[in-house]
Protein backbone atom coordinates (compact mmCIF):
# COMPACT_ATOMS: atom_id res chain seq x y z
CA UNK A 1 0.00 0.00 0.00
CA UNK A 2 1.39 3.41 -0.99
CA UNK A 3 2.12 6.08 1.57
CA UNK A 4 -0.73 8.28 0.20
CA UNK A 5 -3.25 5.43 0.51
CA UNK A 6 -2.09 4.79 4.06
CA UNK A 7 -2.67 8.48 4.87
CA UNK A 8 -6.11 8.33 3.26
CA UNK A 9 -6.99 5.24 5.29
CA UNK A 10 -5.83 6.89 8.53
CA UNK A 11 -7.85 10.01 7.70
CA UNK A 12 -11.03 8.01 7.06
CA UNK A 13 -10.61 6.05 10.29
CA UNK A 14 -9.95 9.28 12.17
CA UNK A 15 -13.09 10.90 10.79
CA UNK A 16 -15.20 7.87 11.61
CA UNK A 17 -13.82 7.82 15.13
CA UNK A 18 -14.83 11.43 15.61
CA UNK A 19 -18.43 10.92 14.44
CA UNK A 20 -20.87 11.20 17.32
CA UNK A 21 -22.01 7.89 18.74
CA UNK A 22 -25.60 8.86 17.96
CA UNK A 23 -24.83 8.52 14.23
CA UNK A 24 -24.02 4.86 14.73
CA UNK A 25 -27.18 4.44 16.79
CA UNK A 26 -29.20 5.92 13.95
CA UNK A 27 -27.73 3.39 11.53
CA UNK A 28 -28.39 0.63 14.08
CA UNK A 29 -32.18 0.84 13.71
CA UNK A 30 -32.32 0.31 9.95
CA UNK A 31 -33.98 -3.03 9.21
CA UNK A 32 -34.66 -3.71 12.91
CA UNK A 33 -37.92 -4.43 14.73
CA UNK A 34 -38.82 -2.66 17.98
CA UNK A 35 -41.21 -4.35 20.38
CA UNK A 36 -43.60 -2.06 22.22
CA UNK A 37 -44.36 -4.17 25.28
CA UNK A 38 -47.51 -2.97 26.99
CA UNK A 39 -48.43 -3.76 30.58
CA UNK A 40 -52.14 -3.99 29.82
CA UNK A 41 -54.63 -6.09 27.88
CA UNK A 42 -55.35 -5.33 24.24
CA UNK A 43 -58.31 -3.06 24.94
CA UNK A 44 -58.83 0.23 26.70
CA UNK A 45 -57.56 3.77 26.62
CA UNK A 46 -53.94 2.85 27.29
CA UNK A 47 -53.79 0.91 24.03
CA UNK A 48 -54.95 4.02 22.19
CA UNK A 49 -52.12 6.06 23.74
CA UNK A 50 -49.64 3.59 22.29
CA UNK A 51 -51.48 3.31 19.00
CA UNK A 52 -51.27 7.06 18.37
CA UNK A 53 -47.52 7.07 19.00
CA UNK A 54 -46.39 4.03 17.00
CA UNK A 55 -46.57 5.29 13.38
CA UNK A 56 -44.95 8.60 14.25
CA UNK A 57 -42.21 6.98 16.31
CA UNK A 58 -41.46 4.72 13.36
CA UNK A 59 -41.36 7.78 11.11
CA UNK A 60 -38.90 9.70 13.28
CA UNK A 61 -36.49 6.93 14.27
CA UNK A 62 -33.72 7.00 11.66
CA UNK A 63 -33.86 3.81 9.64
CA UNK A 64 -37.64 3.55 10.13
CA UNK A 65 -37.66 0.25 12.07
CA UNK A 66 -40.83 -1.79 12.32
CA UNK A 67 -42.67 -1.32 15.63
CA UNK A 68 -44.89 -4.17 16.80
CA UNK A 69 -47.11 -4.20 19.90
CA UNK A 70 -47.09 -6.98 22.46
CA UNK A 71 -49.27 -7.23 25.55
CA UNK A 72 -48.37 -8.51 29.00
CA UNK A 73 -51.29 -7.68 31.32
CA UNK A 74 -51.19 -8.51 34.99
CA UNK A 75 -50.91 -7.01 38.47
CA UNK A 76 -51.58 -3.42 37.44
CA UNK A 77 -48.59 -3.35 35.09
CA UNK A 78 -46.16 -4.97 37.55
CA UNK A 79 -45.70 -8.09 35.43
CA UNK A 80 -44.55 -6.17 32.37
CA UNK A 81 -42.42 -3.71 34.37
CA UNK A 82 -40.67 -6.58 36.20
CA UNK A 83 -40.01 -8.30 32.88
CA UNK A 84 -38.55 -5.19 31.27
CA UNK A 85 -36.41 -4.40 34.30
CA UNK A 86 -35.06 -7.91 34.91
CA UNK A 87 -35.26 -9.86 31.66
CA UNK A 88 -35.37 -7.65 28.57
CA UNK A 89 -32.06 -7.10 26.84
CA UNK A 90 -31.18 -3.37 27.12
CA UNK A 91 -30.44 -2.89 23.44
CA UNK A 92 -32.99 -0.24 22.57
CA UNK A 93 -35.23 -2.73 20.76
CA UNK A 94 -37.84 -3.10 23.51
CA UNK A 95 -39.86 -0.13 24.77
CA UNK A 96 -42.17 -0.50 27.73
CA UNK A 97 -45.57 1.15 27.91
CA UNK A 98 -47.75 1.10 31.00
CA UNK A 99 -50.23 3.06 33.05
CA UNK A 100 -49.45 5.35 35.95
CA UNK A 101 -49.98 2.41 38.31
CA UNK A 102 -46.45 1.18 37.57
CA UNK A 103 -45.13 4.30 39.31
CA UNK A 104 -47.63 4.45 42.17
CA UNK A 105 -47.21 0.78 43.07
CA UNK A 106 -43.47 1.26 43.44
CA UNK A 107 -43.74 4.42 45.54
CA UNK A 108 -46.26 2.74 47.83
CA UNK A 109 -43.94 -0.25 48.23
CA UNK A 110 -46.50 -2.81 47.17
CA UNK A 111 -45.63 -6.50 46.91
CA UNK A 112 -44.52 -8.24 43.75
CA UNK A 113 -42.27 -5.41 42.55
CA UNK A 114 -38.73 -6.18 41.43
CA UNK A 115 -38.16 -3.01 39.42
CA UNK A 116 -36.86 0.39 40.44
CA UNK A 117 -38.72 3.36 38.95
CA UNK A 118 -35.68 5.58 39.51
CA UNK A 119 -33.58 3.35 37.23
CA UNK A 120 -35.90 3.08 34.25
CA UNK A 121 -35.08 5.39 31.34
CA UNK A 122 -38.13 7.46 30.43
CA UNK A 123 -39.30 8.48 26.96
CA UNK A 124 -42.30 10.60 27.96
CA UNK A 125 -46.08 10.32 27.91
CA UNK A 126 -48.82 11.36 25.51
CA UNK A 127 -50.59 13.16 28.35
CA UNK A 128 -49.77 14.98 31.55
CA UNK A 129 -53.33 15.98 32.45
CA UNK A 130 -56.15 13.68 33.44
CA UNK A 131 -59.61 13.82 34.94
CA UNK A 132 -60.59 10.55 36.68
CA UNK A 133 -64.34 10.44 37.25
CA UNK A 134 -66.38 8.50 39.79
CA UNK A 135 -69.58 7.34 38.09
CA UNK A 136 -72.58 5.15 38.87
CA UNK A 137 -75.06 3.58 36.49
CA UNK A 138 -78.20 5.65 36.07
CA UNK A 139 -80.51 2.74 36.90
CA UNK A 140 -79.09 2.60 40.44
CA UNK A 141 -80.90 5.90 41.09
CA UNK A 142 -77.97 7.49 42.93
CA UNK A 143 -78.18 10.93 41.40
CA UNK A 144 -76.95 12.94 44.42
CA UNK A 145 -74.06 12.70 46.86
CA UNK A 146 -76.53 12.24 49.74
CA UNK A 147 -78.15 9.25 48.01
CA UNK A 148 -74.72 7.84 47.23
CA UNK A 149 -73.68 8.10 50.88
CA UNK A 150 -76.92 6.56 52.10
CA UNK A 151 -76.56 3.53 49.83
CA UNK A 152 -75.00 0.52 51.57
CA UNK A 153 -72.64 -1.94 49.84
CA UNK A 154 -72.03 -0.07 46.59
CA UNK A 155 -70.28 -2.49 44.19
CA UNK A 156 -67.35 -0.79 42.48
CA UNK A 157 -65.81 -2.64 39.53
CA UNK A 158 -62.24 -2.44 38.26
CA UNK A 159 -59.36 -4.38 36.80
CA UNK A 160 -57.02 -5.28 39.64
CA UNK A 161 -55.81 -4.16 43.04
CA UNK A 162 -53.13 -1.53 42.45
CA UNK A 163 -54.42 -0.41 39.07
CA UNK A 164 -54.57 3.39 38.79
CA UNK A 165 -58.38 3.58 38.50
CA UNK A 166 -58.73 1.08 41.35
CA UNK A 167 -56.60 3.33 43.58
CA UNK A 168 -58.61 6.37 42.57
CA UNK A 169 -61.88 4.52 43.10
CA UNK A 170 -60.81 3.62 46.62
CA UNK A 171 -59.90 7.24 47.34
CA UNK A 172 -63.26 8.42 45.98
CA UNK A 173 -65.05 5.91 48.22
CA UNK A 174 -63.01 6.97 51.26
CA UNK A 175 -63.46 10.74 50.88
CA UNK A 176 -67.09 10.52 49.78
CA UNK A 177 -67.83 8.53 52.97
CA UNK A 178 -69.46 5.62 51.17
CA UNK A 179 -71.12 3.05 53.40
CA UNK A 180 -69.51 -0.40 53.19
CA UNK A 181 -68.43 -0.25 49.54
CA UNK A 182 -67.43 -3.52 47.88
CA UNK A 183 -64.62 -3.57 45.33
CA UNK A 184 -65.02 -6.16 42.59
CA UNK A 185 -61.87 -6.73 40.53
CA UNK A 186 -60.71 -9.08 37.79
CA UNK A 187 -62.32 -7.36 34.82
CA UNK A 188 -60.69 -6.04 31.70
CA UNK A 189 -61.63 -2.43 31.04
CA UNK A 190 -64.24 -3.40 28.47
CA UNK A 191 -65.66 -6.05 30.83
CA UNK A 192 -65.89 -3.52 33.67
CA UNK A 193 -67.90 -1.19 31.41
CA UNK A 194 -70.32 -3.98 30.51
CA UNK A 195 -70.56 -5.15 34.11
CA UNK A 196 -71.61 -1.70 35.26
CA UNK A 197 -74.21 -1.08 32.57
CA UNK A 198 -75.50 -4.63 33.01
CA UNK A 199 -76.01 -4.19 36.76
CA UNK A 200 -73.28 -6.61 37.84
CA UNK A 201 -71.55 -3.68 39.57
CA UNK A 202 -72.93 -0.25 40.43
CA UNK A 203 -69.98 2.07 39.91
CA UNK A 204 -66.49 2.52 38.60
CA UNK A 205 -63.76 5.07 38.11
CA UNK A 206 -62.78 5.99 34.58
CA UNK A 207 -61.07 8.84 32.77
CA UNK A 208 -62.94 11.66 31.09
CA UNK A 209 -61.03 10.86 27.89
CA UNK A 210 -62.22 7.25 28.09
CA UNK A 211 -65.84 8.30 28.46
CA UNK A 212 -65.64 10.73 25.57
CA UNK A 213 -63.51 8.51 23.36
CA UNK A 214 -64.88 5.01 23.96
CA UNK A 215 -68.13 5.45 25.87
CA UNK A 216 -69.57 8.71 24.62
CA UNK A 217 -73.07 7.19 24.54
CA UNK A 218 -72.97 7.08 28.35
CA UNK A 219 -73.21 10.86 28.34
CA UNK A 220 -75.30 11.30 25.20
CA UNK A 221 -77.92 8.76 26.34
CA UNK A 222 -77.73 9.78 30.01
CA UNK A 223 -76.74 6.29 31.17
CA UNK A 224 -74.54 7.33 34.12
CA UNK A 225 -74.33 9.79 36.98
CA UNK A 226 -71.00 11.57 37.46
CA UNK A 227 -70.36 12.36 41.12
CA UNK A 228 -66.80 13.67 41.53
CA UNK A 229 -63.54 14.22 39.69
CA UNK A 230 -59.82 14.45 40.43
CA UNK A 231 -58.51 17.21 38.17
CA UNK A 232 -54.87 16.75 37.22
CA UNK A 233 -53.14 19.20 37.53
CA UNK A 234 -55.23 20.73 40.28
CA UNK A 235 -57.69 23.22 38.82
CA UNK A 236 -57.29 21.86 35.26
CA UNK A 237 -60.96 21.17 34.64
CA UNK A 238 -62.18 19.18 31.67
CA UNK A 239 -64.58 21.32 29.62
CA UNK A 240 -67.19 18.52 29.41
CA UNK A 241 -67.14 17.98 33.20
CA UNK A 242 -66.37 21.47 34.50
CA UNK A 243 -69.36 21.44 36.88
CA UNK A 244 -68.44 18.12 38.53
CA UNK A 245 -67.12 18.71 42.09
CA UNK A 246 -63.41 18.17 42.61
CA UNK A 247 -62.56 15.54 45.21
CA UNK A 248 -60.52 18.13 47.16
CA UNK A 249 -63.68 19.69 48.61
CA UNK A 250 -64.44 16.46 50.47
CA UNK A 251 -61.08 16.36 52.33
CA UNK A 252 -61.32 17.10 56.05
CA UNK A 253 -57.66 17.37 57.06
CA UNK A 254 -54.24 18.37 55.80
CA UNK A 255 -53.06 14.78 55.49
CA UNK A 256 -56.12 13.89 53.38
CA UNK A 257 -55.31 16.82 51.08
CA UNK A 258 -51.70 15.62 50.83
CA UNK A 259 -52.94 12.12 49.94
CA UNK A 260 -54.94 13.61 47.07
CA UNK A 261 -51.83 15.55 46.01
CA UNK A 262 -49.75 12.37 45.94
CA UNK A 263 -52.33 10.52 43.85
CA UNK A 264 -52.53 13.55 41.59
CA UNK A 265 -48.76 13.43 41.03
CA UNK A 266 -49.05 9.75 40.10
CA UNK A 267 -51.39 10.80 37.30
CA UNK A 268 -49.22 13.78 36.35
CA UNK A 269 -46.37 11.50 35.26
CA UNK A 270 -48.78 10.11 32.67
CA UNK A 271 -48.65 6.68 31.07
CA UNK A 272 -44.89 6.16 30.78
CA UNK A 273 -42.96 4.89 27.80
CA UNK A 274 -39.69 3.56 29.18
CA UNK A 275 -36.53 1.57 28.53
CA UNK A 276 -34.67 -0.91 30.73
CA UNK A 277 -31.64 0.31 32.70
CA UNK A 278 -28.37 -0.01 30.81
CA UNK A 279 -29.74 0.90 27.38
CA UNK A 280 -26.86 2.57 25.49
CA UNK A 281 -27.00 6.36 25.79
CA UNK A 282 -26.74 6.93 22.05
CA UNK A 283 -29.80 4.76 21.40
CA UNK A 284 -31.64 6.43 24.27
CA UNK A 285 -31.07 9.81 22.67
CA UNK A 286 -32.24 8.58 19.27
CA UNK A 287 -35.49 7.27 20.82
CA UNK A 288 -36.00 10.37 22.97
CA UNK A 289 -35.54 12.66 20.00
CA UNK A 290 -37.99 10.58 17.97
CA UNK A 291 -40.51 10.86 20.80
CA UNK A 292 -40.02 14.63 21.03
CA UNK A 293 -40.64 14.97 17.29
CA UNK A 294 -43.70 12.74 17.61
CA UNK A 295 -45.22 14.94 20.31
CA UNK A 296 -44.50 18.08 18.29
CA UNK A 297 -46.02 16.76 15.05
CA UNK A 298 -49.41 18.39 14.25
CA UNK A 299 -50.54 15.14 12.60
CA UNK A 300 -49.96 13.29 15.86
CA UNK A 301 -52.23 15.79 17.61
CA UNK A 302 -54.94 15.23 14.99
CA UNK A 303 -54.71 11.44 15.29
CA UNK A 304 -54.77 11.59 19.07
CA UNK A 305 -57.89 13.75 19.09
CA UNK A 306 -59.57 11.47 16.55
CA UNK A 307 -58.94 8.34 18.64
CA UNK A 308 -59.33 9.75 22.14
CA UNK A 309 -61.68 12.68 21.64
CA UNK A 310 -59.32 15.08 23.39
CA UNK A 311 -56.14 17.06 22.84
CA UNK A 312 -52.85 15.45 23.89
CA UNK A 313 -50.86 17.13 26.65
CA UNK A 314 -47.44 15.53 26.11
CA UNK A 315 -44.86 15.14 28.83
CA UNK A 316 -41.39 15.20 27.33
CA UNK A 317 -38.80 12.58 28.37
CA UNK A 318 -36.67 14.76 30.65
CA UNK A 319 -39.74 16.32 32.27
CA UNK A 320 -41.16 12.89 33.03
CA UNK A 321 -37.88 11.71 34.50
CA UNK A 322 -37.71 14.84 36.69
CA UNK A 323 -41.35 14.48 37.80
CA UNK A 324 -40.74 10.91 38.95
CA UNK A 325 -37.66 11.95 40.90
CA UNK A 326 -39.67 14.65 42.70
CA UNK A 327 -42.67 12.52 43.69
CA UNK A 328 -43.50 13.31 47.36
CA UNK A 329 -42.58 10.34 49.51
CA UNK A 330 -43.48 11.41 53.07
CA UNK A 331 -43.93 8.27 55.19
CA UNK A 332 -47.17 9.35 56.89
CA UNK A 333 -48.87 10.22 53.59
CA UNK A 334 -47.70 6.99 51.96
CA UNK A 335 -48.88 4.97 54.98
CA UNK A 336 -52.40 6.43 54.81
CA UNK A 337 -52.64 6.07 51.04
CA UNK A 338 -51.50 2.43 51.29
CA UNK A 339 -54.35 1.72 53.70
CA UNK A 340 -56.83 3.46 51.43
CA UNK A 341 -55.80 1.68 48.22
CA UNK A 342 -55.24 -1.76 49.70
CA UNK A 343 -57.44 -4.82 49.27
CA UNK A 344 -59.05 -4.74 52.72
CA UNK A 345 -61.77 -2.56 54.24
CA UNK A 346 -61.26 1.19 53.97
CA UNK A 347 -59.77 2.83 57.08
CA UNK A 348 -61.97 4.92 59.33
CA UNK A 349 -61.69 8.68 58.90
Cβ pair 172, 261 in contact under 8 A? no
Cβ pair 158, 169 in contact under 8 A? yes
pLDDT at 83: 97
- DSSP for 149-182, please give it: HH-BS-EEE-S-TT-HHHHHHHHHHHHTT-BS-E
pLDDT at 7: 41
Tell me if the domain spanning 7-127+269-315 has CATH number 3.40.50.300: no
pLDDT at 23: 61
pTM across the whole model = 0.76
Q: What are phi and psi of 33, to 5 degrees?
A: -120, 130
Q: Using CA atoms, how far apart are residues 259 and 18, in angstroms rounded to an integer?
A: 51
Q: What is the pLDDT of residues 323-346, one digit of tens each?
A: 999 898 999 999 999 999 999 999
Q: What is the pLDDT of residues 118-163, one digit of tens each?
A: 999 999 999 999 999 999 999 999 999 999 999 999 999 998 887 8
Architecture of the domain defined by 132-266+332-341: 3-Layer(aba) Sandwich (3.40)
Q: Where are the domains of the chain?
A: 7-127+269-315, 132-266+332-341
C-alpha to C-alpha distances, 349 to 97, 171, 236, 256, nearest whole angstrom: 36, 12, 27, 9
Count CB atoms within 10 A of the CB of residue 23: 13
pLDDT at 90: 98
pLDDT at 278: 97
- DSSP for 238-290, please give it: -GGGTTSPBGGGG--SHHHHHHHHHHHHHHHT-S-EEE-TT--HHHHHHHHHH
Domains 7-127+269-315 and 132-266+332-341 share a fold: yes
Q: Which residues of the chain have pLDDT under 70?
A: 1-26
Q: What are phi and psi of 115, to 5 degrees?
A: -120, 160
pLDDT at 10: 43
pLDDT at 320: 94
Amino acid sequence: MSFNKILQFILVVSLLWQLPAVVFAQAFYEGKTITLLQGRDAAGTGVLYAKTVMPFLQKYIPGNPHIVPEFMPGAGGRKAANHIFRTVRPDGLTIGSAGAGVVSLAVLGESGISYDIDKFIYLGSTYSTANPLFITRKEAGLDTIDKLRAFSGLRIGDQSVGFSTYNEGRLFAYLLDLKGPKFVVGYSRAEADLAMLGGEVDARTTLATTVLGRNREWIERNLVNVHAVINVPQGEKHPHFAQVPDLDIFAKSDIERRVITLLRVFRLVGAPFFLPPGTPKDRVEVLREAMRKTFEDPEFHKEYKKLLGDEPTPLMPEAQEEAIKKIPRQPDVIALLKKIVGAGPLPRR
